[in-house]
Amino acid sequence: MENSTSRRRHNKRDSAGHTLLELLVSLAVGALLLTILGGMATSTLRMEEKLNAEDKIRQNSRRAYTYFQKQILSADKVIVHEGQVYIQDMDPVHLYYNLYTLNAEGVVYRLKYREKSEGLINIGSGQTSHLIDEVENFECQFLPPKSIALRIQFTDGYLLEEVFYIGGEVDER
């Protein structure tokens, strides 16, 4: 008899639903799982953003390396004046010389000059071109007798260093 009474009580409890304590425990476990999943999603998104930023810098560095390599190797003439290196532009129509400088915002610019009897003169309108960004330090240095040392330190710490042989004439002033 006792057995059937306890079964009836148990069945009543089952048909009545969950207790408040069980409901609160379920909600707490659910909230904990949502917090963990949210943290994992946020962490994944941050990692993806960081990897995308690093990829952009690597692409910038590869592009810069390829650009400088082509520029220096194709130059018929390089002018070195007061420590500044002016590399003949690849433009076959106009005879320009490019000087590369880093501004305070971490952008390397190409400045175009034309050789005149009075020296190198900027070409005026259209003289400045954006080349690469996110650069912390930039050096383009002449190494006698016919080489240029290029050093680009990016803001993420990545360093690109290369020495290029000058195929053309070197004019030291």
Q: Which helix (H) or strand (E) holds 108?
A: strand 108-116
Token pair recorded at residue 49: 């953003």
pLDDT of 20:
86
Q: What is the DSSP letter of 127?
A: -
- Residues 139 and 97: their CA atoms lie apart, in Å, by 17
pLDDT of 13:
54
pLDDT tens for each residue of 92-105? 777 899 999 999 99
Query: Which residue ranges of the chain lie beneath pLDDT 50?
Result: none
pLDDT of 12:
54
pLDDT tens for each residue of 66-91? 999 999 999 999 999 999 999 999 88
